[in-house]
Amino acid sequence: MIKPEELKSIVATDCGSTTTKAILIEKKEEGYRLIVRGEAPTTVEAPFEDVTRGVLNAVTEVEELSNKEILDGENFVKPYRDKNHGIDIYISTSSAGGGLQMMVAGVVKTMTAESAARAALGAGAIVMDTIASNDGKQMHEKIERIRTLRPDMILLSGGIDGGTISHVAELSEIIAAADPKPRFGSTYRLPVIFAGNKDARDIVKNNLEKKTDLFIVDNLRPVLERENLRPARDKIHDLFMEHVMAQAPGYKKLMSWTDVPIMPTPGAVGLLIEKIAKKNGIEVLGVDIGGATTDVFSVFQGIFNRTVSANLGMSYSISNVMASSGINNIMRWIPFHMDEKDVRNRIKNKMIRPTTIPQTIEDLQLEQAIAREALRLALEQHKTMAVSLKGVQQERTISDTFNQTQSGATLVNMETLNMIVGSGGVLSHAPRRVQSAFMMIDAFLPEGFTMLTVDSIFMMPQLGVLSQVHEQAATEVFDKDCLIRLGTCIAPIGNTKKYDSPCVTISYNGNTKEVKYGEMTLFPLGVGEKVEVKVKPEKGFDMGAGKGKEVVREVEGGVVGLIIDARGRRPFTLPEDNKLRVEKLTEWNKVLGTYPEIK
3-class SS at 150? coil
* 441 and 368 Cβ atoms separated by less than 8 Å: no
What is the DSSP secondary structure assignment for residue 389, as one 8-state letter? P
Alpha helices (H) along 130-193: 139-149, 166-178
Rg (CA), the chain: 25
Of 229, 385, 375, the residue nearest 306 (C-alpha): 385
Distance CA 36, CA 46 (A): 29
Distance CA 553, CA 491 (A): 13
At 23-82, the pLDDT tens digits run 999 999 999 999 999 999 888 878 888 999 999 999 999 999 999 999 999 999 998 888
* 281 and 298 Cβ atoms separated by less than 8 Å: no
The domain 99-250 is placed in CATH, from the list 2.60.40.10, 3.40.50.280, 3.40.50.1970, 3.40.50.970, at 3.40.50.280
What is the DSSP secondary structure assignment for residue 394, as one 8-state letter? P
Backbone angles phi, psi at 182, to 5 degrees: -70, 160
Question: How far apart, in Å, are the Cα atoms of 571 and each of 300, 408, 443, 543?
Answer: 20, 22, 10, 16
* Pairing mode, strands 284-289 and 551-556: unpaired
Distance CA 167, CA 132 (A): 9
* 560 and 486 Cβ atoms separated by less than 8 Å: yes
- Please give the distance of CA 595 from its chain centroid, rounded to a whole number: 27
Distance CA 117, CA 390 (A): 14
Distance CA 372, CA 458 (A): 19
**The pLDDT of residue 404:** 36
* 270 and 297 Cβ atoms separated by less than 8 Å: yes
Report, at the CATH architecture level, how domain 4-96 is classified.
2-Layer Sandwich (3.30)
Would you list the DSSP string of 333-370?
T-SS---HHHHHHHHHHHHHSTT----SHHHHHHHHHH
**The pLDDT of residue 393:** 46
158 — alpha (psi -120 to 50), left (phi > 0) or beta? left
| Residues 6 or more apart whose Cβ sits within 8 Å of residue 134 | 107, 108, 109
* 70 and 83 Cβ atoms separated by less than 8 Å: no
Element (H, E) at 376: helix 361-385
What is the DSSP secondary structure assignment for residue 575, as one 8-state letter? -
**The pLDDT of residue 283:** 97
Q: In the chain, which residues fall in CATH 3.40.50.280?
A: 99-250
**The pLDDT of residue 401:** 33
pLDDT < 70 stretches in the chain: 1, 96-99, 184-187, 390-408, 497, 597-599
- CA-based torsion, 257, 262, 266, 272: positive or negative: negative
**The pLDDT of residue 267:** 86
Give the full edge-to-edge strand order of the sheet including 303-309.
303-309, 294-300, 284-289, 419-423, 448-455, 483-491, 562-566, 519-523
* 95 and 245 Cβ atoms separated by less than 8 Å: no
Q: In the chain, which residues fall in CATH 3.30.420.40?
A: 4-96
- Measured between alpha carbons, how far apart are the two ends of the chain, in Å? 60
Cβ-in-10-Å burial (0-12, 13-18, 19+) of 402 comes to exposed
Of 563, 566, 533, 565, the residue nearest 550 (C-alpha): 533
